[in-house]
Structures are given as C-alpha cells and as structure tokens.
Amino acid sequence: MAIATTSPVTGEVLRRYEELTPEELEDKLARAAAAAASYRLTGVEERAAWLQHAAERLEKEIESVSRMITTEMGKTFRAAEEEVAKCIHGLRFYAAEGPAFLRDMDADAGRVGAKQTFVSHQPIGVVLAVMPWNLPLWQAMRFAAPALMAGNVGLLKHASNVPQCALYLEELFRDAGFPQDVFQTLLISSGSVEQVLRDPRVAAATLTGSEPAGRSVATIAGNEIKKVVLELGGSDPFIVMPSTDLERATDVAVKARCLNNGQSCINAKRFYVHQDIADSFIEMFVAKMGALVVGDPMDEATDVGPLATESGRQDVMGYVDDAVGKGATVLLGGERPDGPGWFYPPTVLTGVTPQMRMYHEEVFGPVAQVWAVPSLEDALHEANGHPYGLGSNLWTEDEAERELFVRDVQSGMAFVNGNTTSYPEIPFGGVKRSGYGRELSDLGMREFMNAKTVWIGQDA
C-alpha cells in the first residue's frame, strides 16, 4: 500500500509520502540505539515533565489534530476530539503515576538469606510499535506514554493511510522536550517490518492489528527471542438478560457497535439476547441503528462516517453478501449506498450460522449479528466458542449472573452494564486469538522492562 493520505469521504489522494530509503532507515535505527543508551539514564521526574509538556501542547492543538484524524481515516470530528482527549488523559496519567510504577519493589530479605533484596524495573531499550489506523493517535499513545515514561525508546511504524498522524506524534514528543531520537516515526511499508524487528538494536515489539499480522510478527520475534505484545482482532459478545433496563442497554448497544464507524477491535459485534426479551430488544435496537445519520464526518449532525479504506468496505460487503447468500436475514441496511466515498450503513442481521464467514471472523464495520438465547449459560457457550477473546459485555441486574459472567467468559476484559472501552488506569488486552500481553496501567508499562532481581548479602 502506498504511504498516502486518501480522503475516505471522496476517495481522493490528498498527499503522498516517500518511503524511507535503506540508508535513511539505517540512520534512524542507529540514532534510536544511541538515544536508548543515554535516555535510560534520565530521571523519572524529567520524563514525567516531558509527558506533561506533551499533554499541554496536544490540548492546545486539539481542534487541528482532530481534523487531521478525521481527514485521514474518516471518523466523526466529535469522535476524533474524544480520541485526542483520551491521549491527553493518558499522558497525564503516566506523568503522575509513572514514578510510583517505577519504584523498586522490596522483598523479604530474611527469607532468602540477604541483607537486602528487591526488584528493579529497568528499560529494555528500543521498542518497535506497529500500529493500526482506526485510532491513529490513541493506539500509538497507549504504547508511547508508558514506554517513554519507563525509559525506553520508541520506533513507530504506523498504518500507511495515516502518515500525517504518525509524523505528528514524532513532532509532539520532540517539541515537548524529549531528547532527540527518543521517539521516531518510520515511514516504511509492512514488508520492511521484518528487517527492523530482526535488527539486534531493536529489543522488542508491540503490534495492534489483524491476526495474520500478529502471527507474522510473533513468528519473527520468537525466532529472534524478543518480547512482543499482541493486541489482535476481536468479535466481542454483548449479552442482554431480562432484568436489565432495555432502553439503556439498546442505547449502549448502538454505541458499542457503531463507535468509530464500527471499526474498533472492542466494538460489540455479536449480540446474545435472552429469548424472553429478544423481540423487544431487536425492535428497539433496529430502530435506533436506523436513526443514525451517515454522512460527512465533519458535520456535527453525522453519527457514522465512511469506512477508512476502499478495501475495508469491500471486506464488509463480502461478509454481508456471504451471510445473506447462505440464509441470513437483513433487518436493516446491508446495501452499499451510491455516491463517492467509502460509506456503509448501520446493518443488523439475524439467522447467522456457522456456515457463514462472519460467524467465525471479525467484521470491521457497523454490522451487528443478533441471536435469541434461552439462558446466560447458553449465551456464554456461544460467546466462548469464538476464536477471539478480547472484550465482553453483560447487561443484568442479577448478582448471580454477574458472578457467573465474570468467572466464565473467556475474554481479557469483562464489562458489566457499561460499554467496553480502554482506560489508562486499567489493563487492556485479550486471550485466545485476540493476542497476549497487556497495554495500559502499570502492567502495560512493565511489559517492556527488565524485572531485575537484586540480592545483597550480609556484610563480611
């Protein structure tokens, strides 16, 4: 794919970028390694101050940065503003809490025959981040903020359709006061990732993206014996039980499916509704999905903008056509609109079966699948039968159902009576084919640190 900004609204190429030459890439790797050798020695209070400066600058530029995000990948301007605000919060969170996360952890010296023993968390060096386009600032920020606070150096290989966002991040950290070359953007193709990851100057990698991309990066990292964190696909279940408030549950269900134009790994995609309330849920859900305004993402009245890429819309259309051809029922949407751009309407299907591709795979667009189920146990059985296990969602006022859900749902995150989302304060990540490792919180920071055991013996 060419490195370019292409408007999802019109399909027009707005700006093209040249890929780094081999010599330019080598120079960036050399500078990253040199920066890592000195940056690891900076004080944690210095790093925290630089993160604060980055937050202050981003806050001043929230309007222009939000417009850049919307221009490059098509989410509504309102959603872009929310994404930038989350980045500001993440920067401030790690500036405030990072020093405590980095303190040595004392252990019981007497039990191991030492005068003193503790664990020191130390940076591992240069970390490669391979990031997607759907949350072009937040996805990268939830790696960058903890990594830079930890004393690591970052190399960002962003998606090829959001180069302006990628270059802005390098500029943001540089202008905030971080030492030169501590965070660099690499304008390279996916084909160059292996070369960078195999380079001995790169210590580890983190990837957010598709399952095939994750398999590739994990294979390379395993061959090189390098740490990698993977946040891959998701087809999150959204389970609704009779005791819940259906008005509220359907409001959130619409948001959970169509947030970010339906292009998020933690969008709810599979809706399992107790059979006693299934008809009412479906009627309300379809009505609210149908009321969403699809259009220009810069227009305040728009709820759903275009999909980010032409190929992405083709994929969504392929899933729907496959399901309909094999007997699924379309209750809403399901047809590509006429006109320019990569728009696709909110769509609701029932009757999806294992013979259909969308039953097993992730549909990255505003397409919901709804099933009626006789019990929570049946909903969990269906939900857990899917290969992905990122987030999950339950709506109930029954305490026993909550406990069963939290205990038995196979996912990295379980949300009850609220929309699945990410916060810097709590861990983010999945199980099964949704990947491994964690982002955010103290766990995300320590993924790319050496937990060094220190044992000091008694004086002679």
- The two tokens of residue 396 are 């109930």
155 Cβ contact partners less than 8 Å away, ≥ 6 residues apart: 28, 29, 32, 126, 127, 128, 129, 184, 186, 196, 202
C-alpha R_g of the chain? 23
Separation CA 345–CA 441 (nearest Å): 36
The CA distance from 118 to 72, in Å, is: 47
Q: Please tell me the distance from the alpha carbon of residue 286 to that of residue 347, in angstroms, as a whole number.
A: 8
258 in active site: no
Q: Which one from 72, 81, 170, 231 is the annotated catalytic residue?
A: 231
The reply to whether the predicted model has a pTM over 0.95 is yes
- Tell me how far apart the alpha carbons of residues 348 and 358 are, in angstroms, rounded to a whole number: 12
CA dist 205 to 41, 44, 139, 214, Å? 22, 23, 14, 11
Q: Per residue in 36-48, is it b (16+ CB within 10 Å) or e — as a string?
A: beebeeeebeebb
Give the pLDDT of the chain (460 residues) as one tens digit per residue: 699 999 999 999 999 999 999 999 999 999 999 999 999 999 999 999 999 999 999 999 999 999 999 999 999 999 999 999 999 999 999 999 999 999 999 999 999 999 999 999 999 999 999 999 999 999 999 999 999 999 999 999 999 999 999 999 999 999 999 999 999 999 999 999 999 999 999 999 999 999 999 999 999 999 999 999 999 999 999 999 999 999 999 999 999 999 999 999 999 999 999 999 999 999 999 999 999 999 999 999 999 999 999 999 999 999 999 999 999 999 999 999 999 999 999 999 999 999 999 999 999 999 999 999 999 999 999 999 999 999 999 999 999 999 999 999 999 999 999 999 999 999 999 999 999 999 999 999 999 999 999 999 988 5
Judge whether 231 counts as a catalytic residue.
yes
Query: Could you write out the three-class secondary structure of 379-407?
Result: HHHHHHCCCEECCCEEECCCHHHHHHHHH
- 197: nearest Cα among 167, 166, 223, 158: 223
